[in-house]
Amino acid sequence: MIITKDQIKAHGLKEEEYKKITELLGREANLVELGIFSAMWNEHCSYKSSKIHLKKLPTKNNIVIQGPGENAGVIDIGDDDAIVFKIESHNHPSFIEPYQGAATGVGGILRDVFTMGARPIALMNSIHFGSPENKKTQNLLNGVVSGIGGYGNSVGIPTVGGETKFNSTYNENILVNAMAVGHVDKNKIFYSKAKGVNKSVVYVGSKTGRDGIHGATMASAEFDENSEEKKPTVQVGDPFTEKLLLEACLELMKDKSIISIQDMGAAGLTSSSVEMASKGKLGIELNLSEVPCREKNMTPYEIMLSESQERMLLILDDKKENAAKKIFDKWDLDFVVIGKTTDTNRLVLNYNNKKVADIPITALADEAPMYERKWAKSKISKNKIKVKELKKIKIEDALLRILSSPDHSNKSWITDQYDQIVMCDTIQKSGGDSAVIRIHNKEKAIAISVDSSANYCKADPKSGGKQIVCENWRNLISVGASPLAITNCLNFGNPEKPKIMGEFVECIEGMKEACEFLNFPVVSGNVSFYNETNSKGINPTPVIGGIGLLNKLNKIINMKLKKTNSLIIVIGKTIGHIEQSAFLQENFKIYDGPPPEINLTNEKNNGLAVLKLIKDNLVLSAHDISSGGMLTSLAEMSMASKIGLKIYKPKKLIDSIEYFFGEDQGRYLIEIDKNNRKKIESLLKENNIFSEVIAEVQNDIFEVEKTFSIKVSDLYNSNNQWYHKFNAIK
């Protein structure tokens, strides 16, 4: 068979890549082999444009058990407890088919976690949509949210928060990033590395269909006006089968039957079998005639490339098949021995007693092209906004416009669709800086936060990369947690364009600096390139999912104000950086200028100081200052508790607009008892931490002295009105 140029192109391969394939095989590939190479060599599976840069990120420290390279990262939280977590994208599928794309994104990330032997305990997400004025946004938003909730609620894992943002840059390329967190005994972690020869390779779970074929390849290509035609590449999920698969796998994991286990995710049976064999430096031989199929006359090509959901691949120890099958029979799931491990270092596929593929494992896993793409240094705007031009706006009006904007409005209309308390270990739900989940039957908990900041990354990718790591760090500290590690999902446009590749490289450099300085390693993650339609790409959008530890449940705090007559202290200096702020964007549609400076020393020192005050029981509530600046963050604290604040005007020579809406980094707001003021100020001064009393808590009025006053209920109403207006649009 001669493979044509059209076939090569249709499989997302370049002609020079196919030439390399023929050299590795010593012959022309057949169609099955072409499909397998296409799956393993695409961007989504091989990381061919990103791998050399991802290696720069810090991935180890004394608590990291497993870093990048497995299904998910694993960290040690003491007492033989470990946390398994990862975030991953399902962007392209969710745009084509919002409900199933989002649902199967949740299902896939859950399997990544329980494949490691962990019981999933929480889900989070970061979702980005186009302008609310775009005609597609409403349906995409409602479909994605329904898909996330529908799958998570049905499988019985709490979805405890995340973020939802809007910008025209996502009009044709929405982002759906799903994060899952699991708990496991650190001595009972399972890995995907194959071991031993003539060991049974077992297919378990749901049957294989024609859904999802070329899903990984589709995720490695730009969209165009024909994207709707790609619906067959979107997988169809069944959360109830996922629940059965979860319980069956965890039950089997209680004994020593499993040598290795791998989720059938992107590229399905192809990637799972190749990855297991590659890690173990073994071969694998499969009889595709034995694969359970739900559709008639499926070809070897379709079987190997299907991305049907709720499937796993196991390698079992000798004579363990019968006992294992009984477990899967009990849970009404398929269990079929479809092959064996070999010492050939080759992937050999048979179908109807004929060999249909024979490929060196190294050719698929190790010989995929690695590109050191050309990249261009980003041009950073130096334009400074002159405050006098903004004097015409009233502070109250500016605040209300921010609070009622799509990005800053109350998102409970989303999170109310998620079951946040199933499993009964959710201590703190969405709506705060971080969610908090108790480790079952223990007196400790973990904090989870997901964050992104595309506007900062667009303005200055390196600074934006630093900032998003630091914001995640602050969100964990703000609930009293010690930050431990992160996972990332890096969403960018076409890496073959030097400008886009430059944004990626510089974001990585910024993340590296922040992670190293804060001892905040990256233990897992995902890269999503080619988020473009008709050559128009998204803003660079790295998403960070962070985990923090609370050793004592009584040390958990939140942003809700606790009592009248207490004081609010700001930790960290306010300079008044207004460029790239929500104030400018929401009030004046100005997107120019540099992002705020990131001082890593201040970030670390301020954060550790706040954490110590919390652990010493000196903080009543806390909240980091981020998008919208100090006044927006104060309003959020007030609305969360429905308690008022009297805010002092700035004492120093700084403009009120800059003071209240500037987005200087590394700052926190803490509520303290008046009686502890001197003690706290003394402790902070001893550690050279800048602090200032800026407000006091009062009944139901939110006011800035001599400027404006408003009822907290009116603030709340302003913050809650956007979605109702938006969803009424037809």
Enumerate the active-site residues. 44, 90
E strand or H helix at 144: helix 137-155
Q: How many CB atoms lie within 10 A of CB 62?
A: 6
What distance in Å separates the CA atoms of residue 408 and residue 587, rounded to the nearest whole number? 13
Instruction: Reduce the DSSP state of residue 407 to 3 states and report it.
Output: coil
Residue 354: count other Cβ atoms within 10 Å of its Cβ. 9
Q: CA–CA distance from 114 to each of 183, 221, 266, 441 (Å)?
A: 9, 29, 17, 20
Distances (CA, A) of 697 to 67, 108, 396, 574, 631: 45, 45, 19, 21, 14
**What is the DSSP secondary-structure string of 12-39?**
T--HHHHHHHHHHHTS---HHHHHHHHH
Over the Cα atoms of the chain, what is R_g?
26
CB 123 within 8 A of CB 160: yes
**Is-contact 262 341, C-beta < 8 A?**
no
Strands (DSSP E) contained in 328-394 are 334-342, 346-351, 354-360
Q: How far is CA 190 from CA 84, 115, 181, in A?
A: 11, 7, 15
Measure CA 582 to chain center: 23
| Segment holding 91, helix H or strand E | helix 91-96
Backbone phi and psi for residue 625, each to the nearest 5 degrees, phi listed first: -100, 120
The answer to whether residues 526 and 434 touch, using CB atoms and an 8 Å cutoff, is no
Residues 31 and 38: their CA atoms lie apart, in Å, by: 10
